[in-house]
Structure 1
Amino acid sequence: MRDIMGLMKQAQEMQQKMANVQAELDTIEVEGAAGGGMVTVTMTAKGEVKSVKIDPSLMVVDEREILEDLVVAACGDARTRAERVMQERMSEITKGLPIPPGMKLF
């Protein structure tokens, strides 16, 4: 019975830590870039885009598609970085818990 109570306590502590990390992820910002840094996107670790910066030299009317592609690529780069931050924060919480391999909690 002690094992079950200890496991329940551990689960409650992990749940609280996860709630804290979820709140923290709203405040962590990452930056993604494309075109050698000519387009940058800033987003939260949860994926909310906060800003897009475009080098003025890319503002060429006939090359709109290139600029659009660079914005998409910068968003993808930022999203990859955000996911990495989220994975790092969540792995800190689950460190030491007996979780079966391959089981994802987030």
Structure 2
Amino acid sequence: MMNMQNMMRQAQKMQKQMQTSQEEIKNTTFIGKSAQDLVSATFSGDKKMQSLNIKNDLIDPEDPETLDDMVVAAVNDALNQIDKLTEQKMGKFAKLPF
């Protein structure tokens, strides 16, 4: 069994690793795209949208539903990318030996 001082050192080390991973995620840029890259949504790792780009070909006043669907798809794609990276980097901390 580990003594208390070693456990505290280990916990501090893991805390620093978690903070580093959180910063890496926050500072990563994620670009979600719709089908055929007609819409792209750019997010920071803390899930703040930075930009939304829509190709002119997609803007049809008689078919706003397609534009709506493409925007939703691009945003969801970017958010899913953030969630996957977060799980990949932070999931290991969920299984702490303490």
Tell me how far 1:91 sits from its aligned partner: 4.3
Partner residue, 1:77: 77
One-letter code aligned to 2:30: V
Alignment partner, residue 31 of structure 2: 31
- Paired with 1:52 and 1:20, the residues of 2 have a C-alpha distance of 28
1:98 aligns with 2:97: yes
Per the TM alignment, residue 45 of structure 1 is displaced from its structure 2 partner at its CA by: 2.0
Letter in 2 for 1:98: P
Measure how far apart 1:30 and its partner are.
1.2
Task: State the shift of 1:32 in Å.
Answer: 1.0
The residue that corresponds to 1:45 in the other structure is: 45
- Secondary structure in structure 1 of the residue aligned to 2:62: helix
The equivalent residue for 1:88 is 88
CA distance in 2, matches of 1:42, 1:35: 15
Specify the SS of the correspondent of 1:62. Answer: coil
Q: Which residue of 2 aligns with 1:21?
A: 21
Q: CA deviation at 1:35?
A: 2.2
* Deviation of the 1:31 alpha carbon: 1.2
Counterpart Cα distance in 2 of 1:51 and 1:5: 48
Identity of aligned residues (%): 29
> How much has 1:88 moved relative to structure 2?
2.1
Provide the rounded CA distance (Å) in 1 between the counterparts of 2:27 and 2:42.
12
Q: CA RMSD, aligned part only? A: 2.3
CA deviations 1:50-94 (Å, max 9, x no partner) are 1111111011111112111211111111111111111222246x4
CA–CA separation in structure 1 for the residues paired with 2:50 and 2:20: 21
Q: Given the alignment of the two structures, is residue 58 of structure 1 paired with residue 61 of structure 2, yes or no?
A: no
Aligned residues: 98
